[in-house]
Structure 1
Amino acid sequence: MTSVFVINFMDRQILSILLPQIKAEFFLENWQLGVLTGPMFGIMYSVSGLPIAVLSDSFNRIKIISASLISFSLLTMISGFCVNFWQLCVARFGVGVGEAGTTPAISSLMADLYPPQQRASAMAIYASGLNIGILAAFFLGGAIADHFGWRTALVAVSIPGLLLSIIIFFTVNEPQRTGRSHSLGPATKDSWFGAMRTLLSTPWFRWLMIAGGMASWSLFSILAFSPLFLTEKFQMSATQIGLILALLNGVGGGLGTFMAGRIADRLVVRGPARGMFVPAVALAASTPFLIVYFLAGDVRIAIAAAAIPAAVGFSLTGPSYATLQTFVPAHVRAQAIAIFGAAVNLMGLGLGPPVIGAVSDLLEPYFAERALGLALTLTAPISLLAALCYVRVYFLLRSVDKEPTAD
């Protein structure tokens, strides 16, 4: 399942390293690039994930994952043939719909395969696919774009997903659904509206959505605009940027994500809510380094500062999804994960990149090539607020009347 997430994020993130070429070809402003990398993908990803999650709680999850892989891989390929901004927007809409089917179904599967005390590590290993996907997107995307152009890069990264969908469909079996917990209070209705009403009326779940959404606001803004920031401020090539960001976000971020899961697993032995300390500390620690990254005048200082946020940026993934798997009843896990994912992506992708792009456009007449970096410093206070929200989740989970049962 980790390989699915690799391809998921490779197809999703490839556009960021291609933005300088797309901006030049279509004569776009930064707010348009923000819309392209954010809402055009994020809105459909969020909205489509909810009904697909309902299917994942009742139907064969392997078939759902295979169908999702085929659809978003084909639409990534189609993106390479678009001839204007609006066609590319429509294609990104489609990629969002396709990718929406993978995470809820896979997270539900993994909850049936691992006991509570191993879930944060299991989800962290799965989430490391995100970092590997980013590594591939930046490294391969930058190299292919420099030599063959951005269109060829999009077509090239679509092929592995088509092949993997066939392999999964014919070789992976659907596991038996197991386990229920009772931390949501009264039994959740099987209907989608009943599940959503119960989940959204649960305080810790609401605060977890806010925390994840704010963290993603910063994270996706940084991922979307870092290539353009490094291009405009330091005149780096796509290959150079791809290599640096692949190492920072792919290798460093992957190790950080894995370690966050292992640390969270050790903490939850002493209490299932303690895993929330991992993203809280990581986000707070990254705040000063974000400011240095975007304001440094020397590229070496900027890259060195970027290493810390890159390493801890996805530390929220394993603990957050493990918390959902542990505290949410089995028959609505996929729906809970989809609702959480919808909130995270609507706040992160729907608001982050377009706001950063618009602010940088407003600042550009006054600060020229420094405008985008100044706009990106907004990610620092948002990350700090996200850390405080995770602390709030911890205290709310401690007050839950009944601890989750071991599956």
Structure 2
Amino acid sequence: MNVSLPPPATSASLRPLILVLGACGFASTFTMRLVDPLVPTLAADFGRSIAQVAGMATAFSFSYAIGQPFLGPVADSVGKLRTISACLFILALLSLAASFALSFEMLTAVRAATGIAAGGVIPVAMAAIGDRAPMAERQVMLGRFLVLMIVGQMAGAACSGVIAEHIGWRSVFVAAAALAAVAALLVVLVLKPRPDAARLPLSFRNALANYGTVFANPRTKLIYALVITEGSLIFGMPPYVAAILQERSGIGPSLAGLVIAGTGVGGIVYGMLTRVLVERLGPARMTTVGGLLMALGFALFALPFLPWWSAFGFFVLNGFGFFLMHGTFQAQATELAPTARSSGMALFACSLFMGHALGPVIMGLALHLLGTSGAVLLFAAAIGLLGFLTPRILPLAGSRT
């Protein structure tokens, strides 16, 4: 089947697309992280333990992951922009429903459903950028999209606590609903689907055909395996940071949250410098340098005698290194199957969130066997090795020669 792909776009012509999809990513990640600061408040309101309320994050992430294999073919068949706007409208309705939850079970169920809807925004947006941006510009465009997405993630964690303290936790979900609705309207009013896009009708057979196209690329399995490994190594640490810092320095969760936020700051720095980094380093060197920077950040955090506030700088370094590596994987994943790009990116996101779920389990076992410093150093060595090996086992499209 011959598919007519759109002509390459310029950076200026892509600006409205990046801004609007960035607003969508902002709304999605705002919703993703807003429960974290509310855990003690919700535990008190519903008479539950901290661990039970924290489990809502697992429900959200698990639903996000399992929804991906279904959302990818939907986006490839009905259109990426239509899928994003529909998921954002559903996200708005579910967030509003969460504000009226009368029980802990109801809120948990709504959050699980919210994870599925949120999963139809960011991976599909990346696929849409892949459709319109030529490979030479793609990682730069994805970096700019990433900045707005990270700001949303940080805002969700930072603003929800302030809103809850002054207005109440239910108002946090109302704010999230408003953001999702506005982002959906922007997609409908500003962006237009590609008129020449070739789409197969939505069916189980066509969905399998799309995934067959994705896995026909010999690089697919390797990229997904690398992303699962990357996700488990980078996301294994955050759930234990507060406990480690409390044990070392006696600081509370608010300051621990500030330290973890350093990862987002590192991501923003990456987003601002993406073009320079791509031009100066190239994808192969970006994965290697990213792995080494993450290894350095982890290794410094493993030193127990350093003051707690120094950890913020280590996590900025860690976040910058992560997005050097992950941004490269994202750009490569958009090219696995150009005619089934949403399906390819859906499985990419599913792989990342599988690593997200696996990482804390591995870190918990390592902490039990090796102690804090030993476990963190083990993760440092592993992520550094991943960065070193990636360009040697995976040919990276667009690499400098």
- Category of TM-score, reference length = shorter chain: 0.7 to 0.9
Offset at residue 353 of structure 1 (A):
4.8
1:7 aligns with 2:16: no
Q: CA deviation at 1:84?
A: 4.3
Alignment of 1:117-156 (within 5 A): 117-156=136-175
**CA distance, structure 2, for counterparts of residue 207 and residue 377 of structure 1:** 29
Aligned length: 368
Contact (CA 8 Å) 2:85, 2:185: kept in 1 or not?
A: yes
The Cα shift of 1:221 comes to 4.7
Does residue 128 of structure 2 align to residue 95 of structure 1?
no
Q: Please tell me whether residue 335 in structure 1 is matched to residue 355 in structure 2.
A: no
Residue of structure 2 in register with 1:263 after alignment:
277
Q: Which residue pairs with 2:17 in the alignment?
A: none
8 A Cα contact 1:215 1:383, kept in partner: no
Q: Please list the CA deviations of residues 167-216 of structure 1 after superposition, one character each: whole Å capped at 9, or x if unmatched.
A: 2112211135689xxxxxxxxxx833344356457554323223322332
Please give the TM-score of this superposition, normalised by the length of structure 2.
0.77
Matched, 1:280 2:299: no
Q: Distance in 2 between matches of 1:108 and 1:320?
A: 13
Match of 1:54 among 73, 86, 91: 73
2:48 pairs, out of 27, 43, 51, with 27
What is aligned with 1:183? none
Contact 2:147 2:268 in 1 (8 A): yes
Write the mapping of 1:8-407 to structure 2, written as runs, cut at 5 A: 8-25=28-45, 26-30=47-51, 32-33=52-53, 35-38=55-58, 40-175=59-194, 191-197=206-212, 199-200=214-215, 204-223=219-238, 234-236=250-252, 238=254, 248-260=262-274, 262-268=276-282, 275-292=286-303, 295=304, 298-326=307-335, 328-348=336-356, 350-353=357-360, 378=375, 381-382=378-379, 384-398=381-395
Report the AA paired with residue 288 of structure 2: F
State how far apart, in whole Å, the 2-side matches of 1:290 and 1:191 are: 48
Which AA in structure 2 matches 1:28? S
- Higher RCO (CA-CA < 8 Å; seq separation 6+): 1
Distance 1:136 1:296, change over 3 A: farther
Identity of aligned residues (%): 18
**Which AA in structure 2 matches 1:19?**
V
Cα distance between partner residues in 2 of 1:354 and 1:34? 15
For structure 2, the residue ranges without an aligned partner over 5 or more in a row are 1-20, 199-204
Aligned partners of 2:290 and 2:320 also within 8 Å: no
CA 1:244–1:392 in 2, change beyond 3 Å: closer, same or farther?
closer
Q: Which amino acid aligns with 2:208?
A: F
Q: Give distance in 1, aligned partners of 2:78 and 2:44.
A: 45
Q: In structure 2, what is the Cα distance between the partners aligned to 1:289 and 1:392?
A: 22
* CA drift at 1:64: 0.9
Instruction: Please give the TM-score of this superposition, normalised by the length of structure 1.
Output: 0.76
Q: Which moved more, 1:161-170 or 1:311-320?
A: 311-320
**What is the CA-CA distance between 1:119 and the residue it aligns to?**
0.9
Root-mean-square deviation (CA, aligned residues, Å) is 3.5
Q: Please list the CA deviations of residues 60-89 of structure 1 after superposition, one character each: whole Å capped at 9, or x if unmatched.
A: 221111111111233233333434443332
Return the letter of the residue paired with 2:324: S
Q: Specify whether residues 46 and 234 from structure 1 end up closer, same or farther in structure 2 by C-alpha distance, changes over 3 A only.
A: same
**Closer, same or farther: CA 280–88 of 1 in aligned 2, 3 Å:** same
How far off its partner does 1:97 sit? Answer: 0.9
Kept in 2, the 8 Å contact 1:222–1:376? The answer is no
Q: 1:158 to 1:225 in 2, by over 3 A?
A: farther
CA displacement at 1:100 relative to structure 2: 1.4
Cα pair distance change 1:217/1:21, threshold 3 Å? farther
